[in-house]
Amino acid sequence: MTVSSRTQVGIVGAGPAGLLLSHLLALRGVDSIVVENRSRAYCEARQRAGLLEAGSVELLRQVGLGARMDAEGLEHGGIYLQFAGERHHLDFRDLTGGRWVTIWAQTEIVKDLIRTRLADGGAIEFEVSDTEVADPDSDSPVLRYTDAAGNRHEVTCDAIAGCDGFHGICRHSLPAGLLRVADREYPYAWLGILATVPPSTDELIYSRHADGFALHTMRTPQVSRLYLQVPADDEIERWSDDRIWAELRHRLGVPGWELATGPITEKAISPMRSFVAAPMQYGRLFLAGDAAHIVPPTGAKGLNLAIADVTVLATALVNLLRDHDPRAAKEYSDTCLRRVWRATHFSWWMTSMLHIDPYADEFGAELQLSQLRYVISSRAAATTLAENYTGYLPLRW
């Protein structure tokens, strides 16, 4: 038996994009349902991004999601860039007229969003299967799924938002031949760890080392997060905790500085790619976040882009469904793609400047070092990095 129902917006995926979209829509009186194929516990524990642009922070505050972030998030006014054995500081506040970023983990944003949506009576179905999208080019697209108890559902919607990440189904629901894809694979990956040890630095350290990139970031004053460049085909079983700490110490080390170590509570290897699918819309099916685009993590743009997409999308859907004004919905893809391509360029640039390309020759290595020297010695070059890192045009809500 199939259970039929109706809502205004069907949202596939309870990651940051889908959850924030349903929250923003609810603030403007638009109903939605979020369907998610994982459990609530899994969504809340999945270790991913941790750095928010100033604009993302301001948006979360504006929509009532700032309390815990403001109490527990860590505001940073710069980063360290390390290469050729020396560590240099970039002061974002000075370079950009006061801009900053905040360390606030994606897990915490997701927890706050799920709790808020459920407290407000929002519909989130976890552990669904066989999600399908039908009739995206009609005024009544249909979302089908099987709930955790095995019941099949058919939800008639006014619009569907594909917020189902890179491996989701929504992107593939656009007609074959419509979607154009631009992508790059990188010949390396990131090994990321979470460790119960106070960070050994006040701000993030991005280190280009001849043996590979390393990044020291953090989650709280008690928890550090660190990343190591590893070969694209490496396996986590080859990395004992001792080997990870030794390599981090080696790649992050400078005279007079010590890396504190502690128990590793999580470790995983993530591939790195750039991927942009366009258009991000077909009829009344809209793609947002990782469902439409992926950036390599260097520079921390993925989560911020997801937040930006759904802020644009929520306004477009409110205009379309409540005010019967389709203009912002028609422009959705073009509006988002301008920011997406800026972030795609920045992430590619940061990645290429800081990682050791196994296929590069001395020419490539010298170009990287020259670029890094330019960034730390030219105010114009440093400002370019700082502007991109701290974020783009403010999000309008």
Catalytic residue numbers read 76, 206, 297, 301, 389
How far apart are the C-alpha atoms of 251 and 243, rounded to whole Å?
Answer: 12
Which span sits near ligand FAD by CB under 6 A: 9-17, 195-203, 279-287, 335-343?
Answer: 9-17
Query: Which of 27, 28, 38, 99 touches ligand FAD by CB under 6 A?
Result: 38
Q: Under a CB-based contact definition with an 8 Å cutoff, are residues 267 and 318 in contact?
A: no
> What is the Rg, in whole angstroms, of the alpha carbon atoms belonging to the chain?
21
Contact string 271-310 vs ligand FAD (x = CB under 6 A): ------------------xxx-----x--xxxx--x----
**One-letter amino acid identity for 367?**
L
| 12 counts as binding ligand FAD under rule CB under 6 A | yes
| 267 counts as binding ligand FAD under rule CB under 6 A | no
Which span sits near ligand DHB by CB under 6 A: 46-54, 234-242, 258-266, 276-284?
Answer: 46-54
Strands 159-162 and 9-12: parallel
User: Can you tell me which residue has the tokens 């942009």?
Assistant: 276
Query: Which of 22, 281, 298, 388 touches ligand DHB by CB under 6 A?
Result: 298
Q: Give the tokens for residue 374.
A: 């330019």
| 131 counts as binding ligand FAD under rule CB under 6 A | yes
Strands 32-35 and 78-83: unpaired
| 225 counts as binding ligand DHB under rule CB under 6 A | yes
Query: Which of 9, 11, 26, 43 touches ligand FAD by CB under 6 A?
Result: 43
Question: Which is nearer to ligand FAD, 13 or 141 (by Cβ)?
Answer: 13
Query: Which of 49, 81, 276, 375 touches ligand DHB by CB under 6 A?
Result: 49
The separation between CA 194 and the C-alpha centre of its own chain, rounded to angstroms, equals 17
Q: In degrees rounded to 5, what are phi and psi of residue 376?
A: -85, -10
Question: Which is nearer to ligand FAD, 45 or 182 (by Cβ)?
Answer: 45
Give the residue among 182, 298, 185 at the shortest CA–CA distance from 233: 185
Q: Which of residues 170-199 bind ligand DHB (CB under 6 A)?
A: none
Q: Give the tokens for residue 238.
A: 């080859």
Q: Give the tokens for residue 33.
A: 């349902």
Give the residue among 59, 54, 57 at the shortest CA–CA distance from 71: 57
| 391 counts as binding ligand DHB under rule CB under 6 A | no
| 165 counts as binding ligand FAD under rule CB under 6 A | yes
DSSP letter for 85, please.
T
Query: Which of 25, 26, 35, 101 touches ligand FAD by CB under 6 A?
Result: 35
Query: Which of 20, 25, 51, 174 touches ligand DHB by CB under 6 A?
Result: 51
| 79 counts as binding ligand FAD under rule CB under 6 A | no
How far apart are the C-alpha atoms of 60 and 57, rounded to whole Å?
Answer: 5
| 320 counts as binding ligand FAD under rule CB under 6 A | no
Cis peptide upstream of residue 198 (ω within 30 degrees of 0): no
Query: Which of 78, 168, 212, 391 touches ligand FAD by CB under 6 A?
Result: 168
How far apart are the C-alpha atoms of 205 and 189, rounded to whole Å?
Answer: 18
How far apart are the C-alpha atoms of 104 and 40, rounded to whole Å?
Answer: 20
Which chain residues interact with ligand FAD by CB under 6 A? 12-18, 35-38, 43, 48-50, 106, 128, 131, 163-165, 168-169, 270, 289-291, 297, 300-303, 306
